[in-house]
Amino acid sequence: MLKFASFGAFAAMLDKKAIDTLRQVSTATITTVLLKKGLRNIWMRGARPLRPGQERLVGPAFTLRFVPAREDLATPESWSSPISTRTAIEAMPEGCITVVDAMGITDAGIFGDILCARMAKRGVTALVTDGVVRDLEGVLGTGLPVWCDGAAAPPSVAGLTFVGWGEPIGCGGVAVFPDDVVVADKDGAVLIPKAMLDHVLVEGPAQEAQEAWIVDEVNRGAALPGLYPMNAETKARYEATLKK
């Protein structure tokens, strides 16, 4: 299993102040901020909030990977293997967001209520996957926030083979590394590359403030040309408000 930099070392960089800041920045804003830096593919397809009204959550990515089912490996007996989802859950640190590559398979549930209950007990912030869960009522009952592509009754081994954790994965068509930061809200889940974190922490709140001002202008009857995006005159007027 390929291992990357210590999770604990990076998680320490994502302190409470950074998390609180990102919880005030929407995933839509983050995609815009990173688009301006050339990153177009950071939104994980298929990962939608399982519970309506789910609050925005932030955490460092803890990655798990499945591959297509192979009959000699994808068996109920594999759940007792040292390389299993059960073992991986015991390695999940408090505060992480577990990101699971299920290859978009939607007819085999990667986790059910028991596994999600254990994740909640360990203090995992959320589960994000391009696959589905099973035991839907029980999963909702655990209180673990989940972003996924729905629910299905069959277990994971009906369509998937679990192969490891703590390595780069693809989730919803997005490359996710263990050092990435995940932000998930009602619009889905996005990642912030480690090298871009400081940039987003500065530009994200600034973008939110600017767009809030634009919305106020629209509500006052302002037309969009020259306002959104701002022309030089509007930008100067906005910057003047910041000095007051």
The Cα–Cα gap between 10 and 29 comes to 24
Reply yes or no on whether the pLDDT at 9 is more than 60: no
Given a cut of 50, is residue 41 above it in pLDDT?
Answer: yes
pLDDT score for 10: 47
**Structure-token pair, residue 134:** 């099973």
Asked if the peptide bond before residue 60 counts as cis, ω within 30 degrees of 0, the response is: no
**Has residue 204 got a pLDDT over 90?**
yes
pLDDT value, residue 77: 83
The average pLDDT across 160-180 equals 96
Identity of residue 197: L
Check residue 78 and give its pLDDT.
77
- Give the CA count within 13 Å in the CB-facing half-sphere of 113: 9
Mean pLDDT of 161-165: 96
The topology under which CATH files domain 7-194 is: Glucose Oxidase; domain 1 (3.50.30)
Give the chain's mean pLDDT. Answer: 93
For 78, residues 6+ apart whose C-beta sits below 8 A from its C-beta are 84, 157, 161, 162
- Give the C-alpha distances (Å, rounded to integers) separating 10 from 56, 62, 95, 117, 199: 21, 11, 12, 26, 16
In 3D space, the residue among 168, 146, 178, 165 whose CA is nearest the CA of residue 13 turns out to be: 178
Answer yes or no: is pLDDT of 80 > 90. Answer: no
CA separation for the pair 144, 157 (Å, rounded): 22
**Residue 194 per-residue DSSP state:** G
Residue showing tokens 């997005």: 174
How far is residue 159's CA from residue 32's CA, in Å, rounded to a whole number? 36
The H-or-E segment that residue 218 falls in is helix 197-219
- Asked whether residue 190 carries a pLDDT value surpassing 80, the answer given is yes
Find residue 220's DSSP bridge partners. Answer: none
Residue 83 pLDDT: 86
CA atoms of 174 and 44, how far apart (whole Å)? 6
- Structure confidence at residue 2 as a pLDDT band (50, 70, 90): very low
Which H helix or E strand runs over 69?
Answer: none
Render pLDDT for 117-142 as a digit per residue (tens, 0 to 9): 999 999 999 999 999 999 999 999 99
pLDDT (0 to 100) of residue 26: 98
Which among 154, 112, 143 has a CA at the least distance from the CA of 129?
A: 112
pLDDT band at 12 (very low <50, low <70, confident <90, very high): low
- Please state, in angstroms and rounded to a whole number, the distance separating the CA atoms of residues 68 and 105: 9
Residue 11: the pLDDT is 52
Query: What pLDDT sits at residue 73?
Result: 80
